A = this chain, B = another copy of it.
Amino acid sequence: MAEPSGAGDSIPLDGPGLDMAAGEEFLQEVFRILLEEGVRKSTDVTQKVCDWKEPQELRELLDLELRSDGEGRERLLQRCRDVLRFSVRTGALPVHTSAHRSAAPGQPSASQFSPAQTPCGTAPPASARLFPGHPRFFNQLFSGLDHHALAGRFLTETLNTSPYTYEVAPVLVLMEEQVLATLRELVGWSSGDGIFAPGGSISNMLAMNVARFWRFPESRSRGNWDLPRLGLFASQESHYSILKGAALLGIGTDNVHLVRTDERGKMIPEELEKEIQRVKAEGSEPLFVCATSGTTVLGAFDPLDAIADICARHGLWLHVDAAWGGSALLSPRLRHLLAGIHRADSVTWNPHKLLMVGLQCSAFLLRDSSGLLQRCHGVGASYLFQRDKFYDVSLDTGDKSPQCGRRADGLKLWILWKAVGTKGLAQRVERAFGATRYLLEQVKRREGFQLVMEPEFINLCFWFIPPSLRGQESSPEFWDKLGKVAPAIKEKMIRRGSMMVGYQPHGSQVNFFRQIITNPAVTRQDLDFFLDEIQELGWDL
């Protein structure tokens, strides 16, 4: 042993082992950097979405190595500035011009889009431009930054606790309870259960696990060996976490049956019925259907009522992966997209996507109110979930999760909700929808842009056809060549740092752009810029 057992007196315990004054001052400086970098950069027209560096160069710039000795305050503050500088601004600073643009032949020049000249350009004051989310980051299903949610995250980080028991997290446990109940109400359930999970993938896996336990409670103790081979069903457009979950749960990816979709990316109910019959005929036991409300690439909504009918007929668990589309339930004008969701047995809904709550906030919701979730996951560790506590231990919800320590993901959503109300959240969803409609019109009007399909939601998928390929749509190499355009434009935009948008091939379709607009800071001007920039970057390909 390092310390002889009677050596208590030799240990410097007389004062705290942290320099707390210096620590607080450091924290204040970091907060100042967050503010100042924002203010300064928002007035700097050369500011980029990302400042692209090759990995090796960035490794050296950041001086990543972890050493034996600590560093001084100034060096550490510079490190914080560097983290901001070289990160991608998914939640950073909007800018409305790019000094890096140079007009391509025949194309509008950047200067046409400077704030002073654009017809719609009433740029907010510079001092107001911190943290709204870079309006030209469109790369993922999350983007934008809400100040109230961010304040909630700072509170959460400061509290640093796990909402597994009421005694250590009374406020957070009750907020989680409230937020989950409100989300369930929007699904259409007056009772039920749920838990926050670290992301939609894990939520989907919990659904699969609860479904297995519901049908075969003995699987929990005995594993899959005594069960018939199980069959899981999801559409061809479903999220990849269904495959990952099947692998993790010992069910196997071969036992996930991907049901054909229509031309809009929606599951075809008749095909689901056929798959179920086929799997039964092969001797497997259908268990679980995952319908998707808002697919990742196309933004398609599966027909829930028709799927629920099939599940009811066969006695299958219906899970709805509404990680992306669930937030449409907030809007009276859009919730029809999820008609029938109240018939689901479980739902995944990620407010960290469309509602900009911040990574992560994924609700796993259950219709069951008999304690299925607790019975499925609980093991009742006696050091944490003591039954002889003096309060209502049903508030010790931690055992409902396969996690032990768990982040308090409800607080930030609760604060945001209190700030803008259900109406305010609905308006954001509708604004995102409206922005997509505007962009859709522009894409249809502009030469060289071709829709992959009419969007149902806020995923706008399209190709840009460079002048060199126009009119050659019937040539044998056309699609091969077109498939190389999106990656080439993406590389150019990242190196330039002007914006970020995702692309992917999809089924037989070659690489196309998928534009997602969730950030309320995005204006018409940003949307015009987006299309101009693609046009410019792809002009000479």
Contacts and interface: CB of A to CB of B under 8 A. Distances in A.
Given A3-B433, A124-B15, A247-B377, A76 B198 contact: no
Contact of A171 (B83, B200, B240): B83
Nearest to A69: B421
A388 B209 CA distance: 35
A140 B164 CA distance: 11
A99 interface: no
Contact of A222 (B80, B221, B252): B252
Nearest to A350: B405
Given A20-B129, A255-B223, A383-B504, A200 B523 contact: no
Given A55-B391, A168-B88, A200-B404, A157 B160 contact: no
A207 B397 CA distance: 25
Contacts of A68: 421-423
Between A52, A382, A440, the greatest number of chain B beta carbons within 10 A of the residue's beta carbon is seen for A382
A392 interface: yes
How many copies of this chain?
A: 2
A17 B520 contact: yes
Interface size class of A (residues with CB under 8 A): 35 or more
B55 A491 contact: no
A229 interface: yes
A422 B67 contact: yes
A174 B16 contact: no
Contacts of A423: 68-70
A414 interface: yes
Contacts of A531: none
A11 B438 contact: yes
Interface in A71-112: 71, 75-76, 79-80, 82-84, 86-88, 90-92, 94
A70 B250 contact: no
A371 interface: no
Between A66, A175, A182, A527, the greatest number of chain B beta carbons within 10 A of the residue's beta carbon is seen for A66
A174 B55 contact: yes
A331 interface: yes
Interface in A144-180: 145-148, 150-151, 153-155, 157-162, 166-172, 174-175, 177-179
A326 B506 CA distance: 44
A130 B20 contact: yes
Contacts of A84: 155, 158-159
Contacts of A417: 66
A248 B172 CA distance: 26
A444 B421 CA distance: 57
A150 B158 contact: yes
Contacts of A223: 224, 229-230, 246, 250-252, 254-255
Contacts of A407: 198, 359-360, 407
A139 interface: yes
Contacts of A169: 87-88
Nearest to A16: B521
Interface string A170-198: 11101101110010000000000000001
B201 A402 contact: yes
A62 interface: yes
Contacts of A405: 140, 142, 199-201, 352, 359-360
A345 to B, nearest CB: 18
5 contacts: A16-B523, A58-B170, A161-B359, A245-B402, A383-B502
Ordered nearest first, which 9 A-B pairs have the shortest CB separation?
A: A250-B250, A17-B520, A223-B252, A23-B147, A8-B438, A11-B434, A2-B333, A21-B128, A198-B198
